[in-house]
Amino acid sequence: MEPGNNIRLIVGLGNTGAEYEDTRHNAGFWYADAVARQLRARFSSERKFHGQVARARVAGSELWLLKPNTYVNRSGQAIVALALYYKISPMQILVAHDELDLQPGAIKLKLGGGTAGHNGLKDTQARLSTAEFWRLRIGIGHPRTLQLEQDVADFVLHPPRKDELPAIEQAIERGEAIVDLLADGKFEAAMLRLHTR
């Protein structure tokens, strides 16, 4: 592992509040919660980081988990606050988020790229002044591909259907299984494990 070439911060994107807890837009929060359970890390509210923060040790390194309290479209505010404080570079950040362009059950790891209209990614990219951070794209499907009449804004703020939820949960479990590799900077191995069923 090259120095500084490992994930030190995992961010789950989502909206705070009970009314949003089970909505598709909170898939990133679901992932952060799952990783925290796996690592036996506890979230606590940190005002200076505008969110819920947990800390763990993985692969001999300190790993931070963050769930911004800022609502999705201002997530970058929390990410930058924590990253600056702990001197974490953008390449050491993994942002887990809901992905309309992937079907429920699909999950993809990638470095950089566009935002695909995701306001949380847009804000993060703007505040980090770079697109070069890691993303964990958790498929939630698109209303068109799922033959639904909803518009996208409405779709992401509703819970997944009963037939979609198990697939999303399984994808999140597969994402949990690569945390050790990410913390150790083994990105190719992480992609191979994640993208091979």
List active site positions: 25
Half-sphere exposure of 17 (CA within 13 A, CB side): 8
Amino acid at 8: R
Amino acid at 109: L
Report which of 62, 96, 61, 104 is spatially closest to residue 79, judged by C-alpha positions: 96
Angstrom distances, CA of residue 145 to CA of 15, 75, 101: 24, 28, 9
